[in-house]
Every structure is written in structure tokens, then in C-alpha cells.
């Protein structure tokens, strides 16, 4: 049996000397050291040996196993080292290469205009108020003097979720919620920026979703002249100190009296051009004195308090400010358009 073990050792070492891959090495490990290998069979036959032969053969068998395992471990270490070196070579990074410059982003033009409008009104003592985009019919219409079946609702057809829940058509509900929250306290000076939704057909000047900013002031002795002065200061900070405003009579259910507000055309200085259709003026927003009924529903005595409100579409402000002709440019994510505002 001793001779058999020695022959097994020589056979294994010879085969190991010709191993060409890690797979072959694993196969030889199983062949000679596995549970069904020749070395295991020899050890199983030791039970037939005498008590004197058993320790001698056992020692020889252990030496044979140790010799085979040593060669296998040595070759395994070599293969592991080679694999590591190959992986390092394949994953090597040339640190001498120039870096890849990252593209610098920019604030979206609508966000930029919203921030600018907020800064102007905060400088005049206003605070920014926000509310839900999914709104109750009561806050969106009824509390603003637009009861159900009022014909003026047709101008603000929206997306209804239920008969009483809809996507808000204006940020005016924030004004109502603010009045309820303040419970008759004055003064109120807020602007309400946010998204609004209407069932409009998308074209160069209309969108089913757009940004709006409304303002509300309530106090004692608030007059129409205060509204005019506020809007004049706003447009001059937005478009330049020589900008003028014009107020034309209009109708809104939630203000009385109501006005449409125009600004002098920045392109021609009011002389008349293609942009302003030769009129010298550009419509910019709607405004008016808060309707007594709206004050009353908000918890304010219209005999003691007055107020004014105004509302503007941010896209309209931005289009006039930057000379943009199509509102859809704001929402198509065309980098050629957006990159123009990188350093504006």
C-alpha cells in the first residue's frame, strides 16, 4: 500500500505539472483529493491493515495529501495573482488624460421670472402664500363670487375629479384660504405663485397648464390708487424705470371695479411696432378692488375693510421680458432654447 501511495503521488504531481488552466487545476483537485478519489480509497482500506502498519501507512497518506495540496495551492495562488493583474490592467485609468468637462445647468426661465417677481413684491412687504393644486369647487369658484352655473365659469373650464373637486383654474383659492386663516385680522399682503389648469387647446399663446401669480391686499382705506402705484412699481422694476402702465375697464366676478392692465411696449418704447401691433401697449395682467361679497365670504366686513387683487400669467411676463413668441417653448425641454438663459 505504501508503494501505491508513492505511485499515486508521482502520478498526481506529474499531471499537476502540465496544468494549463484554473479549471484543469480544480478538476485534478477533485480527481485526487475528492471523496471518490484514489487517496480516499486507500485510506478506506486501512481497516484491513495490522495495528503496526496502520500508523505508518497513515503517515505516508498524510504526506502524499500534503504534497499534492501544496502544489495545488501554489498553482492556485499563481492563477489568482495572474487574474488580479489582468483585471487591474483592464480597469486601468489613465490619470494623464484631460478631464471631461461637465455641462453647466441654468435656472429655467419661468423659475427665474417667478423668483424675480417674488423678490420685487417681498421688497414691497408682501409674503408668499401657497395652496393645493387639487382644489374644492367652493374655494376655486363659489367663495370668489362664482356660484354654480355662473356663466363666467365657462372662461375657466377645468379638469374635474368629482363634481366638487377639480384642478384649480387660478391661484385665487389661496387668497380665500388666507382670509379664512387670518379670521378678520389685517393687514393682508400676499402673493400666491403656482401652477393652474384649464381646458385650453395648446397653441402659441395658450397651455392647459401654466404658472400664475396673484396678489391680495386687505386693510382699512385701501384704494384704487394704491393698486395703481403697486403695479407701476412692479412693472418698472421688471421691465425698466421708463415703463408706463395703462388701466382699462374690464369685468371679473371677484373684483369691482375691475381693470385690464397694459404696459408700454419695451420693444418700441410705446411708439408702435409689430410686437405691440402698432398700439404701443401690451396687455400684462388683470386686477381690481376686491368685491364686497368676496370680502364678506372671507370673514371681513366690507363696510370696514377694502382691498385690491391682481393676477398675472408668469409665461406672459416671461414672453414679454425675453421676446419669446411661443409659450410651448417653456415646456418642450429643448436644450437649444433653454441654453439661451444660461447667463441671463
Read off the C-alpha cell for 293.
361679497
How would you classify residue 240: left for phi > 0, otherwise alpha for psi between -120 and 50, otherwise beta?
Answer: left
Q: Is the peptide bond before 249 cis (omega within 30 degrees of 0)?
A: no
**Annotated binding residue at 142?**
no
Could you tell me which residues are beta bridge partners of residue 95? Answer: none
Q: Which of 118, 57, 36 is nearest to 312 (CA)?
A: 118
**DSSP string over 140-152:** HTGGGT--TT-GG
Contact 190, 129 (CB under 8 A): yes
E strand or H helix at 135: strand 134-136
Contact 112, 341 (CB under 8 A): yes
CA distances from 152 to 155, 161, 212, 333, 342 (A): 6, 20, 19, 34, 41
How far apart CA 235 and CA 228 sit, in angstroms, is: 11
Known binding-site positions for Mg(2+): 256
Known binding-site positions: 256
Amino acid at each position: 500500500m505504501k508503494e501505491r501511495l508513492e505511485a499515486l503521488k508521482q502520478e498526481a504531481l506529474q499531471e499537476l505539472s502540465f496544468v494549463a488552466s484554473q479549471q484543469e487545476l480544480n478538476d485534478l483537485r477533485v480527481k485526487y483529493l475528492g471523496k471518490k478519489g484514489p487517496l480516499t480509497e486507500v485510506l478506506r482500506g486501512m481497516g484491513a491493515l495490522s495495528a503496526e502498519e496502520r500508523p505508518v501507512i497513515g503517515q505516508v497518506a498524510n504526506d502524499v495529501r500534503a504534497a499534492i495540496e501544496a502544489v495545488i495551492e501554489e498553482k492556485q495562488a499563481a492563477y489568482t495573482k495572474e487574474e488580479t493583474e489582468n483585471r487591474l490592467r483592464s480597469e486601468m485609468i489613465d490619470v494623464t488624460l484631460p478631464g471631461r468637462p461637465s455641462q453647466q445647468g441654468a435656472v429655467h426661465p419661468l423659475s427665474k421670472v417667478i423668483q424675480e417677481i417674488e423678490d420685487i413684491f417681498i421688497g414691497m412687504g408682501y409674503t408668499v402664500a401657497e395652496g393645493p393644486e387639487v382644489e374644492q369647487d367652493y374655494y376655486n369658484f363659489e367663495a370668489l363670487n362664482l356660484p354654480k352655473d355662473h356663466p363666467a365659469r365657462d372662461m375657466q373650464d377645468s379638469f374635474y375629479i368629482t363634481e366638487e373637486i377639480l384642478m384649480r383654474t387660478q391661484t385665487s383659492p389661496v387668497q380665500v384660504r388666507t382670509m379664512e386663516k387670518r379670521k378678520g385680522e389685517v393687514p393682508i399682503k400676499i402673493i400666491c405663485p403656482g401652477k393652474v389648469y384649464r381646458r385650453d387647446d395648446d397653441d402659441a399663446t395658450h397651455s392647459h397648464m401654466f404658472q400664475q401669480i396673484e396678489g391680495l391686499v386687505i386693510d382699512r382705506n385701501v384704494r384704487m390708487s394704491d393698486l395703481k402705484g403697486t403695479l407701476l412699481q412692479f412693472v418698472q422694476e421688471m421691465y425698466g424705470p421708463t415703463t408706463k402702465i395703462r388701466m382699462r375697464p374690464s369685468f371679473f366676478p371677484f373684483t369691482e371695479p375691475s381693470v385690464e392692465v397694459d404696459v408700454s411696449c419695451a420693444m418700441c418704447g410705446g411708439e408702435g411696432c409689430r410686437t405691440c401691433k402698432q398700439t404701443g401697449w401690451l396687455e400684462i395682467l388683470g386686477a381690481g378692488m376686491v368685491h364686497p361679497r368676496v370680502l364678506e365670504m372671507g370673514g371681513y366686513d366690507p363696510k370696514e375693510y377694502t382691498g385690491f387683487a391682481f393676477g398675472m400669467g408668469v409665461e406672459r411676463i416671461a414672453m414679454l421680458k425675453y421676446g419669446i413668441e411661443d409659450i410651448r417653448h417653456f415646456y418642450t425641454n429643448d436644450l437649444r432654447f433653454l441654453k439661451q438663459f444660461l447667463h441671463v
